[in-house]
């Protein structure tokens, strides 16, 4: 049986790993390669690196740290941040990233996903979606790396999920912004709604604070992976303990 994935997310800014609450007030949490190696050793199934300044500063992530991470890791990793074309994506993949994730640039120009899919295959194209619940509706936001520049896209989240799948995304990371960094649990209702229309792997993001939250999102929303940052960075949850507890609770885990 396919194992459910535990995925630490490392927000990268200026070559360091940072973490904020609801995308604000970023604090330094360590060196990229050191943290990547730590999570590898603890049994993380995959890592995601988001260059959170990339889209907002209109620049793209460098490839040097991707090569350094690739050299260290014997688990897969995904790179996100400001990837707005085939050439930039190709550099990231050539440097050793297994997958690339697109978010704001795809909202500005949705055909980006088609182009990436045609060039590299859907298996390495991830659509990152920042979704916000407002008055009972799920809406997509862009440029969330900087609160001052965050934009409403006017897009309905479920519509955008359907569109990115149709265009060739091979995986979706759904980041529920209301829950980001506050450790009150994943947005099960929203993830269930998305799961219902999503036939590619779906990764939950935003809200992990306790082992129970992971168990709930795997069992109730049937997501393929759960992404978290602060609980791992701050050592509130140890990955070996989490995976053991989830396995005991009947969630298939990589051993």
Partner 1 sequence: MSVLIVDTKCANLASVGFAFDRLGITSTISDDPDRIAAADRVLIPGVGAAPYAMERIDAAGLTDTLRALTQPVLGICLGMQLLFDDLAEGGVVTKGLGLIPGRVSALDTKDLPSPHMGWNRLTDIADDSLTAELSEGDHAYFVHSYAAPVSTHTLAMTSYGSPFSAIVRHGNVRGCQFHPERSSDAGAAILKAFAAL
Check 11, 45, 51, 224 and give the catalytic one.
11
Number of H helices, E strands in the chain: 10, 12
Among 29, 33, 75, 86, binds partner 1 (CB under 8 A): 75
Binding to partner 1 by residue 217, rule CB under 8 A?
Answer: no
Measured from the CB of residue 99, what is the shortest distance to partner 1 in angstroms?
A: 8
Residue number, 4 or 179, with CB nearest to partner 1: 4
Residue number, 2 or 111, with CB nearest to partner 1: 2
Query: Distance between CA atoms of 175 and 227, rounded to whole angstroms?
Result: 9
Active site residue 57: no
Among 73, 116, 246, 251, binds partner 1 (CB under 8 A): 73
Query: Distance between CA atoms of 26 and 21, rounded to whole angstroms?
Result: 7
Residue number, 177 or 188, with CB nearest to partner 1: 188
Among 45, 51, 84, 180, binds partner 1 (CB under 8 A): 45
Query: Distance between CA atoms of 187 and 226, rounded to whole angstroms?
Result: 12
Phi, psi dihedral angles at 124 (to 5 degrees): -115, 15
Q: Which residues of 115-146 are buried (b: 16+ CB within 10 A; e: fewer)?
A: bbbeebebebbbbbbbbbbeeeebbbbbbbbe
Residue number, 85 or 133, with CB nearest to partner 1: 85
90 touches 65 (CB < 8 A): no
Binding mask 92-131 for partner 1 (x = CB under 8 A): -xxxx-x---------------------xxxxx-------
Strands (E), 96-163: 99-102, 125-134, 137-142, 151-156
Check 51, 84, 130, 224 and give the catalytic one.
130
Active site residue 130: yes
161 touches 172 (CB < 8 A): yes
Residues lying near partner 1 in the complex (CB under 8 A) are found at 1-5, 45-46, 67, 70-71, 73-76, 93-96, 98, 120-124, 170-171, 198-202, 224-225, 254-255
């Amino acid at each position: 049986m396919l194992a459910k994935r535990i995925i630490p997310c490392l927000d990268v800014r200026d070559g360091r790993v940072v973490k904020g609450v609801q995308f604000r007030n970023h604090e330094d949490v360590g060196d990229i390669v050191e943290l990547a190696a730590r999570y590898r050793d603890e049994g993380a199934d995959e890592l995601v690196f988001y260059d959170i300044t990339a889209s907002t500063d209109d620049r793209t992530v460098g490839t040097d740290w991707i090569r350094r991470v690739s050299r260290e890791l014997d688990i897969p990793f995904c790179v996100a941040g400001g990837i707005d074309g085939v050439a930039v994506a190709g550099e990231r993949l050539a440097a050793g990233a297994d997958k690339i994730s697109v978010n704001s640039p795809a909202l500005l120009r949705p055909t980006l996903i088609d182009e990436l899919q045609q060039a590299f295959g859907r298996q390495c194209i991830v659509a990152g979606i920042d979704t916000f619940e407002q008055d009972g509706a799920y809406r997509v936001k862009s440029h969330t790396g900087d609160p001052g520049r965050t934009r409403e896209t006017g897009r309905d989240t479920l519509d955008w999920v359907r569109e990115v799948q149709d265009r060739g995304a091979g995986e979706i990371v759904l980041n529920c912004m209301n829950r980001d960094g506050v450790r009150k649990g994943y947005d099960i209702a929203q993830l269930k709604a998305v799961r219902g229309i999503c036939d590619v792997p779906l990764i939950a993001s935003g809200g992990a604070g306790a082992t129970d939250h992971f168990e709930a999102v795997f069992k109730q929303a049937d997501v393929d992976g759960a992404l978290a940052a602060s609980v791992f960075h701050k050592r509130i949850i140890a990955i070996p303990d989490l995976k053991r507890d989830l396995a005991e609770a009947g969630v298939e885990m990589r051993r």
